[in-house]
Amino acid sequence: MNQLISPSGIVVCVGAIVLKDEQILFVRQAEGHSLEKQWTIPWGFVEPGEAPEEAIIREVQEESGVSSEVQGLLGIQNLPMPWNGWISIIFQCRHISGIPRSDGGRETDRAGYFTLEELLKFEDEIEIWCAWLAERVLTGTPKLIPPEPMNPYSPKIAFL
């Protein structure tokens, strides 16, 4: 996984809340990862020449075996230490196909869909920001910004 550092030194990541019915896709980060053994939403780096909305579809597939499509933009998060100077663009996606599975331990060692009730009763550690975001989405708190494909830069997608 390559990370693209902009001329300003900012690293751009993407994350996804993937919904299937009233459940959210979570993956458990594999041994050796900075978030080792914590459950998170699928996330990763935007590759050179890749649009963020393309990157998140790729990352979800790589980390969980799930095919998804972007429904809209949830927001942007400035990340804390040790990722200071990184931003994460967070999308809401819809499950298309696939049964959640790990990527064989390269980045993830487990994957699954969970309801809010299941997440609240989890015995394993859930990364705090991912848990907070999942709860907000499942209770209908955030406002989703849908894609606007018919913009002056089309076929590039805008979120406005």
CB 64 within 8 A of CB 42: yes
Element (H, E) at 56: helix 52-64
Look at residue 4 and tell me whether its pLDDT is greater than 70.
no
pTM of the entire predicted model: 0.91
Segment 126-132 long-range contacts (CB within 8 Å, at least 24 positions apart) = 126/26, 126/38, 126/39, 126/40, 127/35, 127/38, 127/39, 127/40, 129/77, 130/15, 130/26, 130/39, 130/40, 130/41
What's the pLDDT at 1?
Answer: 43
Mean pLDDT score, 12-35: 95
Mean pLDDT across the chain: 92
Domains of the chain (ranges plus CATH)? 11-159 (3.90.79.10)
Calculate mean pLDDT across residues 78-102: 93
Q: Give the pLDDT confidence of 43-60 residue by residue, as tens digits.
A: 999 999 999 999 999 999
Omega into 52 within 30° of 0, i.e. cis?
no
pLDDT of res. 34: 84
In sign, the C-alpha dihedral spanning 84, 85, 89, 95 is: negative
